[in-house]
Amino acid sequence: MTRAPLVLAILVAGAAAFGSVAIAVRGPAVPEPRVTGRPIQVAEAGYVSSDTCRACHPSQYATWHRSYHRTMTQVATPDTIAASFDGVTVDAVPGSPMVLEQRGRELWADFEDPDAGGQTGVRMGVRHPSDPSLASGREQVAIGSRRIKRQVVMTTGSHNQQIYWYATGNSRVLGQLPAIWLTADRRWIPRRAAVMRPPGGSHVSETGAWNGICVACHTTNGQPQFDTPFGSAAIASQTADTRAAEFGIACESCHGPSDAHARANRNPLQRYTSHLTGRPDPTIVQPLRLPPARSSQVCGQCHSFWEFADPESERHASARGLPYRPGDDLAATRFIVQPTKNLDTPEMKAFLASDPGFIRDIFWSDGMVRATGREYNGLIDSPCFKNATDPARTLSCFSCHTMHQTPDDGRLIAEWADDQMAPRSLGNDACLQCHARVARGGPQDISAHTRHLAGSSGSSCYNCHMPYTTYGLLKTIRSHQISSPSVQATLETGRPNACNLCHLDKTLGWTAQYLDTWYGLTPPALGADEQSVAASLLWLLKGDAGQRAIVAQSMGWPAAQQASGTGWLTPYLALTAKDSYDAVRYIAARSQRTLPPFRRDQLPRGNPQLLIEANGTFNAEVVNRLTRARDNRRVFYRE
């Protein structure tokens, strides 16, 4: 019995020693408010963070936790970075190579100072920091020759790319490493190559961009907290006490600040009253219960092109963040850029005065958005949204997407997270909810409407009415403005139509003829090339960089390869691999990798539409003529 205290003391001492070693290995956890050198997470102003939500909503928390929304912004640690920093040298940067190092749980980078030659900066809002045309009033800087060594403290993204931010040493202002990591390819590329921008030009410093711009949408209740409005002075002369309720797009980004909800529902009577009556809880915003227009605005707060309504709004946002809260009218605090409706408004005119190329670069000439990540702009111009009169039959983001994987979704959670589609929307059912009469051949058979085999890619509503005509993040995604294939629209806007994005080997004339025969669309007047050369080649050879990217991606699309054959694609993709735009070259190379090895004997000889002669050579005269006629305007996508 007398040994018991001794044994107990030994056990306690052992546990304490084990705990101390564990803490020493992991590093002491610094309370977030005391962290310096980077933005911090502070739940205030009615925000409580997802940790609080987890207790009562474990399922919703779990699916959100596996989403790319959560990992949009993370503190950089060995656990959150996608790339290795362990003694890695990265050549894919302007100037001399960048050297990465991992010291315990700290990540460091040695690279040429992007701010050595001067300063740039940009404003919050629709503008994108990587767009040189937007640095109005500021010089573009050549990357400096001075090397600096900085701790990498934050990351952006995890799905397609990961961007790394370092502590500049100036308050909580962040700078961006000059290379980014492509997650699928598992390789570094220069940051400037990751966005669609004209060739040449100098490196653009993005110092301060996270604090001033990214924080708005990549965190929950982000507050830049600049001492003077971001962009009003050189970033080196500004300080920022940037903070957010939570890094990443968390529960309260969509449900609003939840302190009142959490407090009210600590009372079990309150909770069970809600459960048993099914009454909405007035202390929280449930986007699914909002009218379609309002619920879509919850997504639109980030997935849209917008501008501040006035300078005062911009000044306020530069300090305290954006005033919009889920459930609010988004248009009350922002100017949503919608060329089809507000091109002539004073707000738009003022906006275009500061950025003349904006509409031209981001929207097709008929007002359809052509940049990825701005799906709300497409939605609100869709007939299924703007012409709808019945809320139950009005298209909204939640008609197809779900932010929490549902129990009836049999897919792996990683598969769901890729696009967060609701299981009912994976096929034609999403459209047939309202357009049931199209399924004349049976519940799923829309072949009478599509004139393509039931179940084929040509009988997919999405492929014809939401073709891959928006571009961003080195890939194309579906247009979120529902439309029907139209050669007339293609001629007027240059936007590739759905038919020719799949039937890559056919001409616009061929498409016009079928649209006339099947749907009664009067064929427009076409030029000689449109009648005789495959539309994909016209876009690939003489289109602008955006059109070239769209077609190059389509050439790697299995459905298009099946419809058009693959024997002729390699030479054209090889030609595109010499494109002056990094992004176009990258996409062409990626599509090239989807093709079998090129064999000259498999070329479709004697096919004038593909500019292939009977002897298997290419019609160099026409290829060169079309290439010389290329639309070489400088294309900047605000991705």
Partner 1 sequence: MSVDYGRRHLRFGWWSLLLFATLGLVLESLQGLKVRAYLDVSNETRRLMWTLAHAHGTLLAIVHVIFALTWRSAPASLPSPRLISASLIAASVLLPGGFFLGGVTFYSGDPGVGVLLVPIGGVLLLFALFSIARAAAGSR
Q: Which residues bind partner 1 (CB under 8 A)?
A: 55-60, 62-63, 268, 271-272, 275-276, 407
Q: How far is the CB of 404 from partner 1 (least distance, A)?
A: 9
Q: How far is the CB of 247 from partner 1 (least distance, A)?
A: 22
Q: How far is the CB of 413 from partner 1 (least distance, A)?
A: 9
Q: Which is nearer to partner 1, 272 or 519 (CB)?
A: 272
Beta strand 40-41 pairing with 243-244: parallel
Supply 272's token pair: 């069970």
Q: Which is nearer to partner 1, 58 or 78 (CB)?
A: 58
Give start and end residues of each alpha helix (H) in 79-125: none
Q: Which is nearer to partner 1, 69 or 370 (CB)?
A: 69
Q: Which is nearer to partner 1, 136 or 273 (CB)?
A: 273
Q: At what angle do helices 508-519 and 535-542 cross, to 10 degrees?
A: 140
Q: Which is nearer to partner 1, 60 or 342 (CB)?
A: 60
Q: How far is the CB of 525 from partner 1 (least distance, A)?
A: 57
Q: Which is nearer to partner 1, 65 or 634 (CB)?
A: 65
Quote the Cα angle for 5-7-8, to 5°. Answer: 60
Amino acid at the residue 606: G
Q: At what angle do helices 545-554 and 569-576 cross, to 10 degrees?
A: 140
Q: How far is the CB of 245 from partner 1 (least distance, A)?
A: 21
From CA 10, how far away is CA 406, in angstroms rounded?
50
Q: Which is nearer to partner 1, 65 or 630 (CB)?
A: 65
From CA 410, how far away is CA 403, in angstroms rounded?
16
Q: Are 500 and 491 in contact (CB under 8 A)?
A: no
From CA 43, how far away is CA 274, in angstroms rounded?
26
Q: How far is the CB of 274 from partner 1 (least distance, A)?
A: 8
From CA 258, how far away is CA 252, in angstroms rounded?
7
Q: Which is nearer to partner 1, 267 or 517 (CB)?
A: 267
From CA 61, how far away is CA 366, in angstroms rounded?
41
Compute how many other C-beta atoms are within 10 angstroms of the C-beta atom of residue 279.
9
Supply 293's token pair: 């227009």
Q: How far is the CB of 64 from partner 1 (least distance, A)?
A: 11
Q: Are 557 and 521 in contact (CB under 8 A)?
A: no
Quote the Cα angle for 253-216-67, to 5°. Answer: 45
Q: Which is nearer to partner 1, 272 or 518 (CB)?
A: 272
- Within 13 Å of residue 260, how many CA atoms lie on the same side as its CB? 10
Q: Which is nearer to partner 1, 17 or 55 (CB)?
A: 55
From CA 402, how far away is CA 421, in angstroms rounded?
6
- Residues in the chain, how many? 639
Q: Which is nearer to partner 1, 268 or 520 (CB)?
A: 268
Beta strand 219-220 pairing with 243-244: unpaired
Give the residues across from 475 on adjacent strands.
472
Q: Which is nearer to partner 1, 186 or 263 (CB)?
A: 263
From CA 12, how far away is CA 9, in angstroms rounded?
5
Q: How far is the CB of 424 from partner 1 (least distance, A)?
A: 17
Chain center to CA of 267: 40
Q: How far is the CB of 265 from partner 1 (least distance, A)?
A: 9
Residue with tokens 């009648």: 531
From CA 379, how far away is CA 324, in angstroms rounded?
19
Residue with tokens 């020759």: 145
Q: Which is nearer to partner 1, 60 or 80 (CB)?
A: 60
Q: How far is the CB of 412 from partner 1 (least distance, A)?
A: 12
Q: Which is nearer to partner 1, 28 or 268 (CB)?
A: 268
Q: Are 342 and 313 in contact (CB under 8 A)?
A: no
Supply 59's token pair: 């399922």
CB contact set of 429 (below 8 Å; sequence gap of 6+) = none
Q: How far is the CB of 458 from partner 1 (least distance, A)?
A: 35
Backbone dihedral angles phi then psi of residue 150, each to the nearest 5 degrees = -135, 150
Supply 192's token pair: 């400037």
Residue with tokens 């408004």: 345
Q: Which is nearer to partner 1, 84 or 406 (CB)?
A: 406
From CA 474, how far away is CA 476, in angstroms rounded?
7
Q: Are 533 and 622 in contact (CB under 8 A)?
A: yes
Quote the Cα angle for 206-478-217, to 5°. Answer: 35
From CA 157, how far away is CA 70, in angstroms rounded?
9
Q: How far is the CB of 416 from partner 1 (least distance, A)?
A: 12
